[in-house]
Amino acid sequence: VHCTTSRSELRRPERCADVRKRNAPCSPTTITVVVINDVDEPPRAAWDNKVQFMLSIIGYSVGLGNIWRFPYLCQQNGGGAFLIPFGVMLVLEGIPLFLIELGMGQKMRLGALGVWNNVHPWLGGLGVASATVTFFVALYYNVIITWCIYYLFSSINYPLPWAECPKLNNTELPECEKASETAYFWYRTTLDISPSMDDSGGLKWWIVLCLFIAWVSVFFIVMKGIQSSGKVEKLYNPNVWLDAATQVFYSFGLAFGSLIAFGSYNPPKNNCVRDVILVSFCNALTAIYASLVVFAILGFKAMLSFDKCLAHNKELLDAMDPDKAKLIPEEMKHLIMGLEPVRANNLGFEVCDLSKNLDQAAEGTGLAFIVFAQAIVELPMSPFWSILFFTMLLSLGIGSQIGILEGMLCTIFDIDFFKRISKPYLTGEWEFDFFQNYFTLSKFAFASSSSKISGFSVSGVVCIVCFFMGLIFCTGAGQYWLGLFDSFAGTIGLVMIALLETIAVVFIYGHEKFTNDIYEMTGYRPGLYWQVTWRVIGPTIMTVILLSSIIAKIVQTPTYMAWDKDKGITVEMEYPGWVLGIALAIVLASVLPIIAIFLLRRFQILKFDVDIHQGAIRRIETTASTKEMIGDVDEDYDSNEDEDEEDDIACRLGVPGGKGPMGQNRGPGGPKGFKMEVMEF
């Protein structure tokens, strides 16, 4: 027989005498009890109003992933054909998972770690895995903000530094002439890129300085708060579908834990379904619109290169002896310049191919910077538009970065280890209590004057660690490292986390229970679309993509695009073996917490490791015959019969009675924090 008690059971001490008279002790067994901490937990923070929440979540979701990442993935995966898998994954995977994360956070009023511990203790690794992926993404995401800052500073000059090629002895540099002004500025001036990953090229001080500015900006904001013409055959490549799936995750910020944190600050009756549909529409529209703009400029840029090639060949023809020029009929000129590379090279002609110029116009992680820089040069008053554009990019990037850090810091503050460390040892704040009271981690986060840990110090430590680890992106090979992290840090790990989150809610928490939760909060009962995508289509698609992508990455040799300064273009190269070892470590670090915590709790090695705050508790070593999980903190407990039975158990255990129902057992600082422990009686 398992005897359990809970916080709601610690009530009405006057009944204990009657219970002891009945003398009905429990048999010796392992039981679960609630231990009330000796510190008060602050009440859960909330958004000031609906507009604040919508602006915050749209700012988080609609970010650089739409303008920077989506266009280069389109180009990499068949152009317009990429819209097919993206649209499929958006409708069948992204939107349903969006509602799961936002709804679970709003219902339980917890961060990612608390939510999945509350669903089942064995799932605690999901919160840790989300924080790990978030950490990796935050490392390189801020580098994109760094590039925006550098371009913003460069925009002060007139003319813009990428408007023309630098000259040596009144002659344009051959590398710039072969590439383009904007490509040369990106690869040689901004990045000073190295020829391969084996050559680091050393730190670039201007990038280090901009990275420092980026992390300082993020720190102060976090600290003070934030109130088919494409190639259709590409569709048969599993990596295309993996890119589409991960782009949906990036675009919405799914599986990072941030949406759960955002949802937890909503009032219980917020219409999260309407929020999901509105944000999804804005997100998809922004990504597609940005891609249309990018590819329109790409076509314009390719046409400029094509015209430049024709002009060069015309100069060669005009310089030839007129008698020899007559030997080349007009109808042969196009053939020589476009279709006969060998003969064209022998005669000194360039091969003018519009489709080739389109493919080589720009690609990779620098696509948006090269393309938009080219468009800005053609505008009148180009410095003004450049400052305006890169300020917009900077705002989008910082907004998304704050949301990313929100999920990671939420997990950090849920870990019991940090709650038990004395504040002076962790923060060094013996004499600086002013900062503890004035600065908080976030308006919606987890530090207050009563917390043992300063949000000021923890967010500062996180930003400092990320800055120093981000120095690897400030070398000559920095763009190659960013591409590596973008390909491995947030792909397989994100898909696995999303798959397990869906399984956890649908099959462990219960799809009917979650449906009822949504109905209670919004008045809308999710219908056939939601049920089918949650229970069948979503898990099936993610499982197929996950397995096929793992097989594809094992079978195929991963490559990256390196800059060839002699040709003025990017060339495909294979990753060195030692780099692939680092990539494997990144992937394992993203998924191992899920397995590790499952095994530790499955075999009772890890009894508990986190405080589950805000009224959600988990049970350890109980059976199916025990009482149901305690509900939401806002739920009223009116059943006198249940209270009597609970008081009986509390008195038998000798636990002192509480005061009123769980939702009312609060001290001056809010509800008590509590945790579960396993004891032998």
Contact 347, 338 (CB under 8 A): no
Q: What are phi and psi of 525, to 5 degrees?
A: -100, 115
Is 34 annotated as a binding-site member? no
DSSP readout, 593-637? Answer: HHHHHHHHHHTTS-S--B---TT----SS--TTSPPPP--TT---
How far apart, in whole angstroms, are the C-alpha atoms of residue 115 and residue 105? 7
How far apart, in whole angstroms, are the C-alpha atoms of residue 323 and residue 326? 5
Q: Which residues contact 605 (CB under 8 A, 6 or more apart)?
A: 599
How far apart, in whole angstroms, are the C-alpha atoms of residue 672 and residue 40? 5
How far apart, in whole angstroms, are the C-alpha atoms of residue 33 and residue 653? 9
Contacts of the segment 619-624: beta carbons below 8 A, 24+ positions apart: 619/4, 619/32, 619/676, 620/32, 620/121, 620/676, 620/678, 621/2, 621/30, 621/31, 621/32, 621/678, 622/2, 622/4, 622/32, 623/2
Is 59 annotated as a binding-site member? yes
How far apart, in whole angstroms, are the C-alpha atoms of residue 252 and residue 99? 11
Q: What are phi and psi of 353, to 5 degrees?
A: -135, 115
Is 208 annotated as a binding-site member? no
Residue owning tokens 């909503």: 266
For residue 4, the SS3 value is: strand
Is 283 annotated as a binding-site member? yes
DSSP readout, 277-326? Answer: HHHHHHHHHHHHHHHHHHHHHHHHHHHHHHHHHHHHHHHHHHHS-HHHHT
Q: Which residues are annotated as a binding site for Na(+)?
A: 59, 62, 66, 251, 283, 396, 400
Q: Which residues are annotated as a binding site?
A: 59, 62, 66, 251, 283, 396, 400
